[in-house]
């Protein structure tokens, strides 16, 4: 395993210098889910939540979050994103009805977009929580992780399938 890149030789935190890195097409895909009561999922599905279109608002929140990642994560580079897309899948899996969120983020630049994809997923899921907490405070955000990333010197990464 290589050393952590956000620390200099003296152990001080710093923003990684990417000036000498070539601009390449970079893509990251992240996912996560929020588990809820069956009635909460039905409310989201029907579009009758008191605060409005839960998934539409969560999609916009996720897009905004990806664009603001460097404002939230101290050592992230501000990036000119070329694409941010969020998709939601509703499922009744056993005792855990859920909404899964997948974010795809792209740029052409010297550094990757994994943090932007992860931030988009987290904020989209937090928005779902915020919009539905009046009826279900027990919702649980879980399994947020990078599914894949492409571009740059380190090449591609694909997460191992989860069982």
Catalytic residue numbers? 130
3-class state of residue 146 by DSSP? strand
157/147 Cα distance (integer angstroms): 8
* C-beta separation of 99 from 55 below 8 A: yes
85/33 Cα distance (integer angstroms): 16
Q: Which two tokens stand for residue 31?
A: 């996912």
């Amino acid at each position: 395993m290589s050393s952590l890149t956000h620390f200099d030789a003296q152990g001080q935190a710093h923003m990684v210098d990417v000036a000498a890195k070539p601009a390449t097409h970079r893509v990251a895909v992240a996912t996560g889910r929020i588990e809820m009561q069956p009635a909460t999922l039905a409310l989201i599905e029907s579009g009758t939540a008191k605060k409005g279109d839960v998934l539409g608002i969560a999609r916009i929140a996720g897009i905004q979050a990806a664009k603001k990642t460097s404002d939230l994560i101290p050592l992230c580079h501000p990036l000119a994103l070329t694409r941010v897309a969020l998709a939601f899948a509703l499922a009744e899996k056993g005792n855990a009805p859920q909404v899964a969120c997948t974010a795809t983020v792209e740029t052409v630049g010297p550094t990757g977009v994994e943090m932007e994809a992860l931030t988009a997923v987290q904020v989209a899921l937090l928005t779902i929580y915020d919009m539905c907490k009046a009826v279900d405070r027990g919702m649980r955000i879980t399994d947020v992780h990078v599914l894949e990333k492409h571009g740059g010197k380190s090449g591609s990464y694909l997460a191992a399938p989860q069982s």
